[in-house]
């Protein structure tokens, strides 16, 4: 279509206006196209094109959790990598048999409240209480012992308690602080022998043999255990000696603490309840467990430098239990508890605080 002279003159006179209108049309078209594109691709949105920030100081963690820090503009910066450690080493729970043993109370009206069984092959003594039906079926106490070092020295069979003694002379010239006769031929329950009738003159090397054959035929026990028989098992209490190397008894075979032969107190039985016993001044002990502060992300071993000893000073670090939870990846304060119990029942417990800090804040 040809324009008239008048139309051409109008176009020349309004050329700027026409160019502005063309620019507006192009801008509208481009805007419509961009809007349609953002519907299918979020990365084209203005906030992602011009306002996106990269994580500071780390890559995306491969495991664990992260703690985020606000930047003030609704974005977050990954700052900490969580690395929780759960220390779950509680004391071993008692079995039903062990619980029943702890709860058992002897009937004071019983003439013979207990039966004693000596497993000669296992060097273990188990004491039984009476059940509701009148049978000796409830194991209530286990004791580690030493029977005869030669086969037959401690005879098999049945016996019963007939006599009780204190500092009774043995056939080799030694003495038993407490002794209980239960079988003919001079077979006794007695303490590990003493060289003299003094409580600080124990045959220490023989004490350290408890759990193995060692005696001349009698059944040796620590002072604590033979005293229990002396006080709780009346004359007439039945005793059975048998062999079962595979099964020490329903309560198992206890272990006994070892006395360092070079100790100044080596002549005392650590289980002797005498108030003059110097071992009573000592107990299981934990050393090196201290409050600690570390930097976030720093490695930490709660066992490093921490040791434990028993009443006699023997190392029992491997018996130490830890409990608590800590996270070296997250600043904060955490509690860790150490506990240990030695072979004669002495316990120690200590709780420390681990503080994780971020000095670079």
Residues 228-237 pLDDT 10s:
999 999 999 9
Residue 63's pLDDT is 41
Long-range (24+ apart) CB contacts under 8 A made by 296-301 are: 296/80, 296/328, 296/329, 296/330, 296/331, 296/356, 296/357, 296/358, 297/81, 297/328, 297/329, 298/328, 299/328, 300/326, 300/328, 300/354
Whether 300 has a pLDDT exceeding 80, the answer reads yes
DSSP 241-286: EE--TT---TT-----PPPPTTSTTTTS-TT---TT-GGGG---EE
pLDDT band at 60 (very low <50, low <70, confident <90, very high): very low
Asked if 130 and 113 count as a contact pair (C-beta separation under 8 A), the reply is yes
Residue 53's pLDDT is 43
- Which residue, among 255, 265, 254, has the nearest Cα to 313 in the 3D structure? 265
Asked if 192 and 220 count as a contact pair (C-beta separation under 8 A), the reply is yes
What b/e readout covers 296-333, taking b as 16+ CB neighbours within 10 angstroms? beeebebeeebebbbbbeeebeeebbbbbebbbbbbee
Residue 29's pLDDT is 75
Residue for token pair 């664990």:
64
Between 50 and 87, whose confidence is greater? 87
pLDDT digits (tens, 9 = 90+) for 64-114: 455 555 444 444 445 899 989 999 876 678 889 999 999 999 988 899 999
Of 13-17, 54-58, 152-156, which range is least confident?
Answer: 54-58
Residue 71's pLDDT is 44
DSSP 232: H
- What is the pTM assigned to this prediction? 0.77
Phi and psi at residue 205, to the nearest 5°: -60, -35
Mean pLDDT of the chain: 88
Out of 32-41, 57-66, 322-331, the most confident range is: 322-331
pLDDT digits (tens, 9 = 90+) for 199-213: 999 999 999 999 999
Sheet with 124-130, side-by-side order of all strands: 136-144, 124-130, 115-119, 238-242, 157-160
Between 31 and 189, whose confidence is greater? 189
């Amino acid at each position: 279509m040809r324009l008239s002279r008048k139309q051409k003159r109008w176009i020349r006179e309004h050329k700027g206006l026409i160019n502005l209108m063309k620019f507006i049309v192009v801008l509208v078209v481009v805007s419509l196209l961009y809007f349609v594109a953002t519907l299918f691709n979020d990365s084209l949105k203005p906030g992602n094109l011009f306002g996106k920030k990269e994580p500071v100081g780390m890559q995306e963690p491969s495991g664990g959790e992260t703690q985020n820090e606000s930047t003030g503009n609704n974005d977050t910066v990954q700052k900490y990598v969580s690395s929780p450690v759960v220390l779950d080493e509680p004391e071993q729970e008692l079995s039903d048999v062990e619980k029943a043993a702890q709860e058992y109370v002897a009937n004071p009206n019983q003439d013979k409240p207990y039966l004693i069984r000596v497993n000669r092959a296992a060097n273990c003594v188990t004491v039984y209480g009476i059940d509701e039906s009148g049978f000796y079926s409830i194991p209530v106490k286990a004791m580690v012992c030493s029977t005869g070092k030669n086969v037959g020295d401690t005879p098999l069979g049945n016996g019963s308690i007939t006599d009780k003694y204190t500092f009774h002379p043995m056939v080799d010239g030694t003495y038993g602080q407490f002794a209980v006769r239960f079988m003919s031929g001079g077979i006794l329950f007695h303490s590990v022998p003493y060289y003299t009738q003094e409580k600080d003159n124990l045959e220490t090397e023989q004490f350290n043999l408890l759990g193995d054959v060692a005696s001349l035929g009698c059944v040796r026990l620590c002072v604590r255990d033979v005293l229990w028989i002396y006080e709780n098992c009346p004359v007439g209490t039945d005793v059975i000696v048998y062999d079962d190397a595979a099964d020490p008894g329903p309560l198992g075979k206890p272990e006994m603490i070892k006395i360092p032969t070079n100790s100044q107190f080596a002549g005392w039985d650590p289980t002797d309840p005498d108030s003059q016993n110097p071992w009573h001044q000592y107990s299981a002990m934990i050393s090196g467990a201290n409050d600690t502060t570390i930097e976030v992300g720093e490695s930490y071993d709660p066992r490093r430098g921490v040791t434990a000893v028993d009443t006699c000073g023997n190392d029992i670090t491997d018996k130490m239990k830890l409990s608590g939870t800590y996270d070296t990846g997250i600043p904060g304060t955490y509690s860790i508890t150490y506990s240990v119990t030695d072979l004669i029942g002495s316990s120690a417990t200590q709780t420390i605080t681990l503080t994780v800090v971020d000095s670079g804040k």
